Structure 1
Amino acid sequence: MSSPRGLANHHLYLARLVLAAWQRDSSAGVVPASTLAAAFGSGCHQHLLRAYGWFLLAVSAPGELPAAPPTRVADLAPPPEGKAVAGEIREFEQLERSGWLADMLGWECPAPGATRRSPGNLASTVEQATGPGEFAGWVDSLESRFARMADSMDEY
């Protein structure tokens, strides 16, 4: 599985596995959401970043694959002289500036003790952690774009 598309799909699958475990533990309601976000969020996020980076390479089709995938469009090598930047790359570039992809790329693992006390009630905290629902949205968004763009890439 050394093709960029294969690696992108592999990491998307791994992200789904981590997400399923996160959702299962979240549904159990035993561990606080912020702790689960710290436990599962980083792993899921890393797989999503790798999936995205490998797919960027699949779209841009560089001559030689790097050892690690890029994280953003700006990390890609410029296209060869006379070759236009693919429309898919431009679409991702726009999503990186604003929207769900910008949120995904900017996600950071919550720091220990990152929850804050609810005003007027010292006994409860307000959870600030991103939950599995947001990550599921990112997985679905990547998966749908990968499928659509792969179909158009296969036509050429």
Structure 2
Amino acid sequence: MFVFSCEKKEFLIKKNKKKIPKKIFVKTSILYKENGLLRIFLYSPLIKEYTSYTLFPNGFYLFIYENNTNKYTYLKADWVKSIGKIIYHIKGNIKIMNSNGYFVKTEEIFWNRKQKKIFNEKYTMIYNSDGTILHATNGIEVSEDFKKIKLKNISGTLPI
């Protein structure tokens, strides 16, 4: 005796929309040298590498050294997303300091390494070692080396 029963059941498979990283690095220090000279030092507590971007969910500390000198530019942030190592979206408690005496504080910036330009449309404060303090309420455009600075809607304090 055979008994057959047919019932149509549809199973819904929920796709996990969260991407899984290809690689995860914990407490990572990266040194990049050219011709035996240190050019870049980066430290991050956590790095997640995906197919099309790299994420630093806990931020990073970055030192970019100038050619044949002990001078460097320092950048610290709470969160960073790197797309192809060309475009960086940087957020949270950003501090940039360079050897020319500029100190920048803001909450969000974009860094285009190909165009060698840093920019944002957020409130930004720039301090200079000569006592100048500038407030850019609508953002900044800065060359990577801080030699060209364009501030949008500025106010500030100048030493006399």
Provide the TM-score with structure 2 as the length reference: 0.20
More strand by share: 2
**Relative contact order, higher structure (CA 8 A, sep 6+):** 1
Larger Rg: 1 or 2? 2
Provide the TM-score with structure 1 as the length reference: 0.21
More helix by share: 1
